[in-house]
Amino acid sequence: MPRPHQRSNDGVLNLPVSPQSLPVLDLRRFAPDHPERDIALTELRGIARTVGFFYLDGHGVPQNQIDGILSLSRRFFSLPEAAKLEIEMRKSSHFRGYNRAGLEFTRGTQDWREQVDFGAEREKPDIKAGDAPWKRLIGPNQFPSALPELKPAVLEWISIVTKLGIQVIEIFSEALGQRPDVFEPIYREGPNQLLKIIRYPGRDKTETDQGVGAHKDGGFVTILLQDVVGGLQVDDGNGGWISAPPKRGTFVINVGELLELASNGYLRANIHRVVTPPAGGDRLSVAFFLGANLASTIPVLDLPAEFAAEVRGVTHDPLNPLFHEVGRNALKSRLRSHPDVAAAHHSDLLEQQNAAVPV
């Protein structure tokens, strides 16, 4: 069972900041011929069973590309509001586009961040009666006409971090005693890709400090790029939060719920949140969530005996049930996080959800 947390009236978890820091792993140590490879796999396994987050160095993504996507992100948020609202998410039934601060919710509580969401650039399918509801998530992105260079940069960045994410998934697979390509059949035909470019405006902490509320991520792995202002905090498992300030040239990687499902809880997706910066400042981040194909079902791996003996089972959270059907999980998350989009385009699914019929 998950550890209980005490919440304030505004829904923010009241836990102290821990003196711990997140570990740093160098991707180069996982190369097949590296002398420390077995040690690195052991370290990864330990991290993924405990804190579930680490900084990734040695990933090979050039710093000029990192700086480029951050610069374009800053330019997008500097556009006039009308230019951003041209691609308002409410205009997209696929949950793509821009959201003003306060329009996304975590576990029913309002987050405070403006953001723009992108996914794989795909044609909208012809959905027929009886088709799986998750097919509604498939479709094109929205891009602002006032910043035409954003589209090629975003699509290139999605390609870069998808390749990196697959490398990380393969390493996790080997750390679990599996073939590196054990998950390849469930992402080969097109993984679920979600890129969120996010700005957290500073505000008075007497209002609330919830930039995004305490939650777990739903994919295989998350690849987070932070600019220069901190705010990410990770549950330390002992009643406190571990701060994860930006480290230039690194990504923050964390275990998602699909790896928890596949390992039957041997690996654990961990709770984390973002607190808003002080009034007068802001925080910028670029988060990429890599999941399996929406049509796929997550298998439960046959773990080696020494790992199977330490399986804990999947976390049970009545407010966030986990399904092995990937599309079902993804749609559940989007409907809950973006109630305005859900109401505008998917009222029938909301009726089913309110009637306790799974969507």
| Coil, helix or strand at residue 289 | strand
Domain boundaries defined on the chain = 17-86+96-118+146-325
| Confidence class for position 37, pLDDT limits 50, 70, 90 | very high
Length of the chain: 359
SS3 content of the chain, % helix, strand, coil (to 5): 30, 20, 50
Rounded Cα gap, residues 232 and 252, in angstroms: 10
Per-residue pLDDT tens over the stretch 140-196:
999 999 999 999 999 999 999 999 999 999 999 999 999 999 999 999 989 999 999
Using pLDDT thresholds of 50, 70 and 90, give the confidence band for residue 205. Answer: low
Whether 331 contacts 133, CB under 8 Å:
yes
CB atoms within 10 A of CB 102: 11
Long-range contacts at 328-332 (CB < 8 A, ≥ 24 apart): 328/134, 328/358, 328/359, 329/218, 329/257, 329/258, 330/134, 330/137, 330/192, 330/218, 330/291, 330/294, 331/133, 331/134, 331/136, 331/137, 331/359, 332/359
Sign of torsion over alpha carbons 232, 237, 48, 311 = negative
17-86+96-118+146-325 homologous superfamily: B-lactam Antibiotic, Isopenicillin N Synthase; Chain (2.60.120.330)
Q: What is the mean pLDDT of the chain?
A: 91
Angle at 17 between CA 249 and CA 201, to 5 degrees: 60
Could you give the C-alpha distances from 69 to 62, 99, 152, 165, 196, in angstroms and in order? 11, 19, 11, 17, 12
Averaged pLDDT, 290-315: 96
Ranges 43-57, 179-193, 270-284, 313-327: which has the least confidence = 313-327
Give the burial class of 338: count Cβ atoms within 10 A of its Cβ; 0-12 exposed, 13-18 middle, 19 or more buried: buried
Please give the pLDDT value at position 355: 54
pLDDT for residue 354: 60
Contact 240/42 with Cβ under 8 angstroms? no
pLDDT in tens, 247-262: 999 999 999 999 999 9
Return phi, psi of residue 187, to 5°: -125, -5
C-alpha dihedral, 200 to 244 to 252 to 338, nearest 10°: -30
- What local confidence, expressed as pLDDT, does residue 4 receive? 34
CA angle 4-353-12, nearest 5°? 30
pLDDT tens digits along 284-299: 999 999 999 999 999 9
What's the pLDDT band for 41 if we cut at 50, 70, 90?
Answer: very high
Helix (H) or strand (E) holding 110: strand 109-110
With tokens 């909301």, the residue in question is: 350
Residue among 354, 333, 348 at smallest CA distance from 104: 333
Note the pLDDT tens digit of each residue in 333-346: 999 899 999 999 99
